Structure 1
């Protein structure tokens, strides 16, 4: 699964709107929509914010793994 599909899936599983996530990332809803559709690549720092927010590993949110593990604790 590609990261754009994964971030959409996680957002929908958590019953959140694109606007809510765009607000979290301090970007416009249209920009976030472009991330989910694959029109624009999401910056790595935004992927990190989403991984922390959803408490999932970067491997999972990036699509590198299909195993959902928690975000690493410090």
Structure 2
């Protein structure tokens, strides 16, 4: 997975004016996990990726930074 996930996750979170805590609460994961994802220290499992993409109403490709031209 590219390092764009952290950037994109943070970008979507900021666009919705959410703290890491609020996002974590809304998708049912730990706040520290959000921090690790945004810093590209850890990668979420597929279920968590789907939860995040659904919450932000974006595709998985968009969330992980995969271009449609790849």
Same-fold call, TM cutoff 0.5: yes
1:16-31 equivalences under 5 Å are: 16-31=18-33
Gaps of at least 5 residues in structure 1 are 67-74
Per the normalisation by structure 2, the TM-score is: 0.81
Instruction: String of CA shifts for 1:24-51, please: whole Å, max 9, x gaps.
Output: 2322211211111111111111111111
Gaps of at least 5 residues in structure 2 are none
Q: Which residue of 2 aligns with 1:60?
A: 62
Q: CA RMSD in A?
A: 1.7
Per the normalisation by structure 1, the TM-score is: 0.77
